[in-house]
Amino acid sequence: MADIIQLLPDHVANQIAAGEVVQRPASVVKELLENAIDAESTEIKLIIKDSGKTLIQVIDNGKGMSVTDARLSFERHATSKIRAAEDLFNLHTKGFRGEALASIAAIAHVELKTKQEQDELGTQIEIEGSDLKAQNVVVTPKGTSLAVKHLFFNIPARRNFLKSNAVELRHIIDEFHRVALAHPSIVFAMYHNGSEIFNLPSSNYRQRVVNIFGGKTNEKLVPVEETTEVLKISGFVGKPEFAKKTKNEQFFFVNNRFIKSPYLNHAINSAFEGLVKDGAHPSYFLNLTVDPKTIDINIHPTKTEIKFDDEHTLYAILRSAVKHSLGQFNIAPVLDFDSDPNLNTPYDYKDKSVATPPTIEVDRDFNPFKEKVSHGVGSSKPAVTFKKQNTSSWDSLYVGLESKSTQQDHNFSEVEFESDSKNETLFDDSQTETTQATYQLHNKYIVSTIKSGMLMIDQHRAHQRVLYENLLKNMTVKEAVSQQLLFPLQLHFSSTELPILIQLKEDLESTGFAFSSVKDHTIEITGVPLGVPESEVSIILEQLISDVEQEVPDSNFSATDLLAKSMAKSLAIKTGQSLNKQEQEHLVNSLFACKEPTVSPTNKTTFITMSVDDIDKKFM
Ligand code: ADP
Ligand code: MG
């Protein structure tokens, strides 16, 4: 039989390797930023277009490359950072595998410009899918510029696999944060689609944290310092009361390299035990310095996981150091950094929410989102979204609400739900004359009688469902009514928060928000959706940002849906709010006019029913 084994051609091998190194635009960002740092740059600029799908460019002022090195840098296993396997155990650089550039060049259009200090002229190289397209002598400043265009141009499957721009940008910003935090003395700037997102001057660590996460952060930070024989810890943890719903203010750096370590994270959580609420995550920005010989960073292709020789000791030291700092802080708050007045937010949402706890007025005659609760007004359109089994049980669900709701029709616009027609069968026509009694239980549930027994609705979830469907509809047909603000509202956002809002601008506008200007981390809001109180705006937007941040990156992300969910959550009647009879009925009616009344937008049960039989059983 003939021999069948072949050596893969280099460009194929590179494409395969690229799969490991480059999962998404953010992976390229990480590799290029790390190379710039390894080149001893003091200023690094990151330029992104379309969340990295069109362009990722890193410009540094580092040591540059000679003509030969420039060519060699794109070869696989070409590295200036290690010479022998032993060097792996004494690494002081980020890179060492010599894989990144070869991999990136295999799956994108790459343009390199580089010049060393002593050289008069630099080198320009263009590579497309591992093919050298051009090599020229150019005039270029000292340092290196590497532009990566059309990532995955030759692997359409990968390209299609990329998430929405908002999600990919989020990943890029995460990588940028990690690198920028690990190197506070390096000047970093980041631009997305032509606008500056970050401009970080050379500073100390505390200032770097504040410059990235916003002026509000300064007061949150508690210093942690500890030096032992095996480990040096320095950095900050966030005060417990500022613990976040998201984990994106959690950073461990080991020898200036960002790492993920569930085990060490656990050490921090245990130090915070009893101090933060369930589901809240303390912020931390911690640098651990250990002897490079005691760690192995080679176990993961993207190098965010490392192996420590003695994890248990590190765990114990870390936990006690954090506990100690928190304890000290309880006695005397620590503020050791003169805050730059420009960093402080002009609008402090924390204080605000304490002074005026959020309340939503439910005015039955007032219609924030042009909803229509027209039960019993049949349209000829069949409702396609109803599930069979539900329909049949709803047939017998209701008694007596129909007459009430029909009276309300004149209050509402002409927008119709697909499900309107279905409601006819939801209600028992024979009893339309009776006024249906509803009762509010513990300002949380609305109880009502139905043909078969009893119905109990969770008011907060039910209202979320109602608002969600209305918001979604408004966003798709773009007909929301905006309410002009007499005095525009200025809201301050951190450099992380701002891009999220900008991404969502169009969707926000379709709900009725109007933004007039975006500069210096400040958004000027000139219009809000009709019915949204001004005092709620910052809370809604903060909630929205936190929801976007929390969105699992790999789940299906739809900005419109998320915005509708988030706003519905913020605006819905809260548990604890007392509702009068009319409000109760209105809510019940609106819920059953929804396409999917059974669950809240986050898939939680909105109501339960109990048949007389069930109740009878309880009395047996
Ligand atoms: P590694 O970083 O693992 O060595 P890379 O593929 O990322 O591998 O880079 C290959 C080599 O190219 C590096 O070892 C370095 O010598 C050179 N290089 C890459 N980027 C830069 C840069 N921005 N400035 C100077 N040299 C660079
Ligand atoms: Mg590298």
Both 141 and 235 in one domain: the answer is: no
Please give the Cα distance from 498 to 353 (Å, whole number).
Answer: 21
Indicate the average pLDDT of the chain: 78
DSSP track, 424-482? HHHEEGGGTTSPPPEEEETTTEEEEEETTEEEEEEHHHHHHHHHHHHHHHHHHHT-PPE
Task: State how far the Cα of 177 lies from the Cα of 526, in Å rounded to an integer.
Answer: 31
Distance (Å) from CA 431 to ligand 2 centroid:
75
Average pLDDT over residues 540-562: 70
Quote the pLDDT of residue 391: 34
How does pLDDT run across 20-42, given as a tens digit for each residue?
Answer: 788 899 999 999 999 999 999 99
Nearest atom, ligand 1, residue 97 CA: 3
Say which CATH number the domain at 505 has. Answer: 3.30.1370.100
Please say if the pLDDT value at position 452 is more than 60: yes
Please tell me the residue having the least CA distance from ligand 1 atom 16.
80
Alpha carbon distance 334, 343 (integer Å): 19
In the beta sheet, which residues pair with residue 412?
none
Listed ranges 37-41, 312-316, 444-448; the one with the highest mean pLDDT: 37-41
106 with 151, same domain? yes
Tally DSSP H helices, then E strands, for the chain: 20, 24
pLDDT at residue 458, rounded to an integer: 94
- Let me know if residue 396 belongs to a domain: no
Q: Band of the pLDDT at 298, cuts 50, 70, 90?
A: low
Cβ-contact 157, 179 below 8 angstroms: no
Does residue 212 share a domain with residue 195? no
Residue 483, H or E segment: strand 482-492
Residue 399 lies in a domain: no
Residue 391 to residues 78, 153, 381, 427, 453, Cα–Cα distance (Å): 66, 48, 16, 11, 17
Which of 21, 35, 112 to probe ligand 1 with, by most ligand atoms within 8 A of CB?
Answer: 35
Task: Answer yes or no: is 343 within a domain.
Answer: no
pLDDT band for position 508 (cuts 50, 70, 90): confident
Name the residue of 79, 116, 148 whose CB sits within 8 Å of the most ligand 1 atoms, as the mutation to test its pocket. 79
* Least confident among 237-251, 340-354, 430-444, 490-504: 340-354
Q: Say if CB 379 and CB 421 are below 8 A apart.
A: yes
Average pLDDT on 316-340 reads 66
Rounded Cα distance, 29 and 32, in Å: 5
| Statement: residue 467 has pLDDT above 80 | yes
Residue range 98-121: average pLDDT?
Answer: 94
Mean pLDDT of the region 595-619: 89
Boundaries of domain holding 37: 10-202
Task: Indicate if 162 and 246 belong to the same structural domain.
Answer: no
Q: List the one residue out of 253, 141, 187 whose CA is nearest residue 41.
A: 187
Place of tokens 């359109």: 381
CATH code at 322?
3.30.230.10
- Of residues 331 and 533, the one with the higher pLDDT is 533
Q: Which residues contact 85 (CB under 8 A, 6 or more apart)?
A: none
Tell which atom from ligand 1 comes closest to the C-alpha of 62: 24
What number of residues does the chain have? 620
Q: So what's the pLDDT on residue 2?
A: 83
Q: From the CA of 145, how far away is ligand 1's center (Å)?
A: 12
Higher-pLDDT residue of 224, 557: 224
Q: What CATH number should be reported for the domain holding residue 17?
A: 3.30.565.10
Of 619 and 83, the structure prediction assigns the larger pLDDT to 619
Distances in whole angstroms, Cα of residue 516 to Cα of each of 39, 66, 344, 536, 595: 42, 49, 21, 18, 35
For residue 534, what pLDDT is reported? Answer: 79
- Ligand 1 centroid from CA 69, angstroms: 9
Residues 155 and 242 occupy one common structural domain: no
Query: Residue 405 domain-assigned?
Result: no
Residue finishing a domain among 279, 312, 328: 328
pLDDT in tens, 29-84: 999 999 999 999 999 999 999 999 999 999 999 999 999 999 999 988 778 877 77
Question: How many angstroms separate the alpha carbon of residue 16 from the centre of ligand 2?
Answer: 17
* Ranges 93-107, 467-481, 561-575, 593-607: which has the least confidence: 467-481
Is residue 62 domain-resident? yes
Which CA distances in Å does 418 have to 408, 411, 422, 596?
19, 19, 8, 11
* Ligand 1 pocket test target in 21, 101, 112 with most atoms within 8 Å of CB: 101
Name the token pair of 160. Answer: 């299609």
Q: Does residue 247 share a domain with residue 220?
A: yes
pLDDT in tens, 157-197: 888 888 888 889 999 999 999 999 999 999 999 999 998 99
- Of 211-225, 264-278, 348-362, 548-562, the poorest mean pLDDT is in 348-362
The residue from 202, 230, 245 where one domain ends is 202
- What is the CB < 6 Å shell around ligand 1? 31, 35-36, 39, 60, 62-65, 73, 78-81, 95-101, 144
Q: Which atom of ligand 1 is nearest to the CA of 80?
A: 14
50 CB-near residues (< 8 Å, 6+ apart) = 165, 193
DSSP 582-611: HHHHHHHHHHHTSSSTTB-TTS-B-EEEEE
* Residue 351 within a domain: no
576 is written with which tokens? 């604890």
The answer, yes or no, to whether residue 542 has pLDDT greater than 60, is: yes
Q: How far is the CA of 207 from the centre of ligand 2 (A)?
A: 27
What does the pLDDT read at residue 309? 85
Mean pLDDT computed over 109-121 = 97
User: Atom 2 of ligand 1 has which residue's CA nearest to it?
Assistant: 95
- Going by their DSSP bridges, the two strands 427-428 and 398-399 should be labelled as parallel
* Residues 39 and 187 occupy one common structural domain: yes
Extended beta strands in 180-308, E state: 187-192, 195-200, 221-227, 232-238, 250-254, 257-259, 284-289, 295-296, 307-308
Q: Is residue 240 part of a domain?
A: yes
Pair (176, 257) in one structural domain: no
Residue pair 181/496 in contact (Cβ under 8 Å)? The answer is: no
Sequence-separated (6 or more) residues with CB below 8 Å from residue 291: 230
**Same structural domain, 171 and 212:** no
Number of C-beta neighbours around residue 146 at 10 A = 24
- What is the per-residue pLDDT for 505? 84
Q: What is the DSSP letter of 581?
A: H
Q: In DSSP terms, which residues pair with 195 in a beta bridge?
A: 192
Q: Closest ligand 1 atom, CA of 96?
A: 3
**What's the CA gap between 187 and 204, in Å, rounded?**
11
Residue pointed to by tokens 């249906």: 436
Question: CB atoms < 10 A from the CB of 620, how many?
Answer: 4
Rounded mean pLDDT, 584-600: 89
Check: CB of residue 44 under 8 Å from CB of residue 187.
Answer: yes
Higher pLDDT, 330 or 59: 59
Choice from 30, 38, 63, 93 to test ligand 1 binding pocket (greatest atom count within 8 A of CB)? 38
Same domain, 166 and 313: no
Together in a domain, 546 and 580: yes
Q: Pick the last residue of a domain from 185, 202, 219.
A: 202
Model pLDDT for residues 361-420, shown as the tens digit of each residue: 344 444 444 443 333 333 333 333 333 333 333 333 333 333 333 333 333 333 333 333
In a domain? residue 99: yes
Q: Give the pLDDT of residue 556.
A: 52
Q: What is the 95 CA–ligand 2 centroid distance (Å)?
A: 4
Name the domain count of the chain: 3
Q: 224 and 135 in one domain? A: no
